[in-house]
Structure 1
Amino acid sequence: MKSWHYALLVFLGGCSFGILSTFVKLAYAAGFTMPQVSGSQVFCGTVIIWSIALFAKKIKITMLQAGKILGAGIPTGLTGVFYYQCLQTVNASLAIIFLFQFIWIGTLIEWVVYKRKPSKLKVISIIILLAGSLLAAGLISGNIQSISGEGAMWGLLSAVTFSLFIFLSGVVGKELPAIQKSALLATGSMITVFILFPPLFLFDAPVLFSLAPYGLLLGIFGVVLPPLLFSIGMPHVGPGLGTILTASELPVAVVLSAAVLSEHVGVLQWTGVLIILAGIMIGNKSSIQPKIIQPYELNSQG
């Protein structure tokens, strides 16, 4: 596979995440609750990915390896729970701005884990990102009172767990075929959500059948495609270019929130979105083809 093919896969993975908020809002409008929406997503997604994995190439792994990958699925499940909780009180076009703070949070994780102090260029890009976020959220135009504090908290928590997912997807289970790894990640995510919210909807036939279309769409775009595409593409493009490519999530979410949900997205908000994208590109300008650090390298730095 050519290098641009891997980049395209990561880009499409970001687009898939960008679609989710619109479908979640539509599910809420149809009367479904956050536990039902989150649970149907992970259930449908896990069933689909395991159905594919049954006929795909797999390798034998130890219980320890399987446990690590299942554990890496925990941030994925928590991201959905936190993000969908945020969407209960915040517009989709604003919720994605909170989620997108994973960019600078990911930099902190890299600093702590890899002992890589951010460069001056990276710091500048983070400042640009935060300025763009203030503009995109409407805070500069005086709309701060209309923002739910609870929604903002859940949105920022989703950013933390999403950054952990991005980090772990590049370093855990790299020896596994992408579909096998994605199936295990999805299973870890499903277990996490079902522990938090027992899947009672599975035993209520009318609710299950009416919820199924949303669960299938959210499962495909939130559970099946992103981990699979990131598992294939991220190790080849690296975290620098990968971060830029996953930024496709932002414009997709904002465009759909305006086109499908009829949310107002003004000129200032669009300007903020463009500033965020510019900040991401500036921060990763010098690391488009970085060296991928292997786990044993991480231990040697300890």
Structure 2
Amino acid sequence: MQLLKYSIMVLIGSISYGTLSTMMKFGFKDGHSSGDLVGSQYLIGWLIVAVLFLFSFKYKIPWKNAGLLAITGMMSAFVGKAYAVAVAELPASIAVVFLFQFTWIGVLIESIINKRRPDRSKVLAICLLFIGTLFAGAIFGQPLSALSLTGVLFGLLSALLFALYMFCNSKFAVEEPSMKRLFFIATGAMLTAVFTTNPVTLATNLVETNLWQFGLLLGTLGVVVPFFFFAVSMPKVGVGLGTILCAAELPSAMVVSVIFLGEGVTSLQWFGMFLIIVGIALPEYLKYLLKKTHTKKKPLHEKRVS
């Protein structure tokens, strides 16, 4: 039951991430650059976290743990940077397919770290997620000429960084309170996002334009909500299951784009989204069936023993 609770938390964080692409598109229409939008997202998100949890915990923390959590946040910011390059070089439907390779990369990382093969339920889930992503991303029928080497490399880099972010979140400084983890992860992400863009231009645009409005939305749904739920739940579910659950981001992004942008979705894309949802639910469902089977067998076993 505890694992289910933490799995739902990961899902909430993933669904929150799925809203970002639509908000970014509105920001682009208003003339804001990707650097300013990402910078405002992490800066304002960090400010919200700092204000909300100002008196929630003591900020004293070992330097090692602070550094590890900051690295976790840096990974998150670099995902956004790498994915922005991929989207600029590739059709969005193909770029998202490369990003979502983080699902099997995350399971592979867990397998290497734990020195054991992933169980069958995870392998089957990964297969469903991979096929579902191909359909949902409308990659079939795309000309090979659309694939630039730069776009492919940065798309795969964003996938690797996202898987590493999941790994760091599940392993680094897990003994620290969740609120403290959230603050230092957000701090690392904010510093990375701000100082890899032009801080002066970012500050000017926040004051003189409506960039702060996008920053408020992006910061809430792209930092506060997912960082909080991941900080609490990722150490509990682990990087393998965590990356599978994070695949909920793609169906979320599709639904939000249909509602707010009026984008068309083909029947094959809806089928792909269905496969993704099945792939996400499969590991938990198989565990439930296994537990139910053991529960039914246990009384018979005890009876025979007696």
Q: TM-score, normalised by structure 1?
A: 0.83
Note the alpha carbon deviations across 1:71-121, whole angstroms, 9 max, x for none. 121111101212333344566665544332211110121122222223455
Q: Which residue of 2 aligns with 1:78?
A: 78
Note the alpha carbon deviations across 1:215-261, whole angstroms, 9 max, x for none. 11111111111111111223344556544543332221011122222
Q: Which residue of 2 aligns with 1:25?
A: 25
Determine if contact 1:39/1:193 at 8 Å carries over to the other structure: yes
Q: Does 2:182 align with 1:217?
A: no
Determine if contact 1:19/1:221 at 8 Å carries over to the other structure: yes
Q: Which residue of 2 aligns with 1:67?
A: 67
Q: How far, CA to CA, are the matches of 1:194 and 1:48 in structure 2? A: 16
Q: Which residue of 2 aligns with 1:296?
A: none
Q: Check 1:173–1:8 CA distance in 2 against 1; reply closer, same or farther (3 A cut).
A: same
Q: Which residue of 2 aligns with 1:235?
A: 235
Q: Which residue of 2 aligns with 1:265?
A: 265
- The root-mean-square deviation of aligned C-alpha atoms, in Å, is 2.8
Q: Does 2:43 align with 1:43?
A: yes
Q: Which amino acid aligns with 1:247?
A: A
Q: Which residue of 2 aligns with 1:143?
A: 142
Determine if contact 1:69/1:181 at 8 Å carries over to the other structure: yes
Q: Check 1:260–1:87 CA distance in 2 against 1; reply closer, same or farther (3 A cut).
A: farther
Determine if contact 2:206/2:212 at 8 Å carries over to the other structure: no
Larger Rg: 2
Note the alpha carbon deviations across 1:17-39, whole angstroms, 9 max, x for none. 11111111111111111111111
Q: How far, CA to CA, are the matches of 1:206 and 1:180 in structure 2? A: 27
Larger proportion of helix: 2
Q: Which amino acid aligns with 1:112?
A: I
Q: Check 1:26–1:131 CA distance in 2 against 1; reply closer, same or farther (3 A cut).
A: same
Q: Which residue of 1 aligns with 2:58?
A: 58
Q: Which amino acid aligns with 2:252?
A: V
Determine if contact 1:93/1:253 at 8 Å carries over to the other structure: no
Unpaired runs of 5+ residues, structure 2, are 289-306
Determine if contact 2:22/2:256 at 8 Å carries over to the other structure: yes
1:209 Cα deviation from its structure 2 partner? 3.5
Give the match's secondary structure for 1:275.
Answer: helix
1:163 Cα deviation from its structure 2 partner? 1.2
Q: Which amino acid aligns with 1:143?
A: Q
Q: How far, CA to CA, are the matches of 1:251 and 1:162 in structure 2? A: 17
Identical residues among aligned pairs (%): 38
Q: Which amino acid aligns with 1:70?
A: A
Determine if contact 2:248/2:276 at 8 Å carries over to the other structure: no
